[in-house]
């Protein structure tokens, strides 16, 4: 399905990204496995993270090359795109997956903790897509138009909010919005952009207190996420500008922010008339969130 597609997978050394890289290569893709090899909080680096996945792929007869740039570096992201093109001759797919966590309640979150998470997730997604888009625009201008795909990684925390994750939720909501904008802007160059909100057992989720045991359920095997990313990356995929929920055997398409009910006036509202009209609106609106679905799955409901 991905024969000869050239793909960059950021954060491909571990967790969900590693599964994407292995699946992509097994489907014939030529993969740039990017991973800084940092700790969960983004500190440090270990080049063996990306290289070990490349070794696994090549041992199985696939094609891959390691890249250890940080996605948070604008210049590093350009080097990553350049490496894909110089090594494999083209670039068809960017999977923005690299991520870190610096969880903290808002009242104690430091500026550095906020900035670090935004830098890897939100700016990192911008950085790689931005340089890939440059290359894709040049290709389209010179008459080479073929299907290209961006697959971004959001999170239920970004789409619905999560306590202790002001930085992460803001970044992940921004990534979903960036996907929609990029899908509109880049389509003229043959590029589709979609986004996933996965749930899986990785070091990121295992560090959350109380998650260790529930996460052992096979629903949360990280390899359950990758087939969706392969579908979204394939040349024949019709989707553009969409956000998908994925875990276990469940894949859902989000309706996005959607107006549930409204109040209207023919005249201009006064504060009093608006307050009275708004009193008829529900105080909260029920949505079909990933957490709602997960709870049903876990309880067999
Ligand atoms: N695991 C889940 O349930 C879950 C849920 C929602 C979203 N996500 C998202 O999925 C993605 C993958 O997470 P995971 O759970 O597999 O975590 P993980 O920690 O296992 O993998 C993330 C990888 O990204 C790499 N990385 C971190 N910063 C980097 C940088 N600056 N440049 C390049 N690589 C970098 C890390 O070294 C690591 O190998 C993340 O974007 C995460 O936010 C995961």
Rounded mean pLDDT, 2-19: 98
Among residues 290, 93, 89, 83, the alpha carbon closest in space to that of 193 is found at 93
- 207: CA distance to ligand 1 center in Å? 13
Residue ID of nearest Cα to ligand 1 atom 40? 99
3.40.190.10, 1.10.1060.10, 3.40.640.10, 3.40.50.720: which CATH number matches 6-253? 3.40.50.720
Say yes or no: CB of residue 50 within 6 Å of ligand 1.
Answer: no
| In the chain, where the domains are located | 6-253
Q: What is the pLDDT of residues 39-96, one digit of tens each?
A: 999 999 888 999 999 999 999 999 999 999 999 999 999 999 999 999 999 999 999 9
Q: Using CA atoms, how far apart are residues 6 and 279, in angstroms rounded to an integer?
A: 54
What's the pTM value of the predicted model, to 2 decimals? 0.97
Which residues are catalytically annotated?
155, 168, 172
In ligand 1, the atom with minimum distance to the C-alpha of 73 is: 31
The angle subtended at Cα 120 by Cα 154 and Cα 31, nearest 5°, is 75
């Amino acid at each position: 399905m991905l024969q000869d597609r050239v793909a960059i997978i950021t954060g491909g050394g571990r967790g969900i990204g590693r599964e994407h890289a292995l699946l992509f290569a097994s489907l014939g893709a030529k993969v740039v496995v990017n991973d800084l090899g940092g700790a969960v909080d983004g500190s440090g680096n270990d080049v063996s993270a990306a290289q070990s996945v490349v070794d696994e792929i090549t041992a199985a007869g696939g094609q891959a090359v390691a890249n250890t740039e940080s996605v948070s570096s604008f210049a590093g992201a350009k080097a990553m795109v350049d490496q894909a093109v110089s090594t494999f001759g083209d670039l068809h797919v960017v999977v923005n997956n690299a991520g870190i966590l610096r969880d903290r309640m808002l009242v104690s979150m430091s500026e550095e903790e906020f900035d670090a998470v935004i830098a890897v997730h939100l700016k990192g997604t911008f950085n790689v897509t931005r340089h890939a888009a440059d290359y894709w625009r040049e290709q389209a201008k010179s008459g080479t138009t073929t299907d290209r795909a961006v697959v971004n990684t959001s999170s239920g925390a970004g789409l619905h909010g999560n306590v202790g994750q002001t930085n992460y939720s803001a970044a992940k909501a921004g990534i979903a919005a960036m996907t929609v904008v990029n899908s509109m802007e880049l389509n003229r160059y043959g590029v589709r952009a979609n986004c996933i909100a996965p749930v899986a057992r990785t070091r990121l989720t295992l560090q959350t207190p109380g998650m260790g045991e529930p996460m052992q359920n096979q629903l949360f095997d990280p390899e359950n996420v990758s087939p969706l990313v392969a579908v979204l990356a394939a040349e024949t995929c019709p989707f553009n500008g969409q956000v998908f929920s994925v875990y276990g055997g469940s894949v859902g398409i989000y309706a996005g922010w959607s107006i549930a009910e409204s109040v209207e006036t023919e005249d201009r509202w006064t504060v009093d008339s608006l307050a009275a009209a708004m009193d008829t609106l529900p105080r909260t609106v029920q949505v079909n969130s990933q957490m709602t679905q997960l709870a049903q799955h876990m309880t067999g409901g």
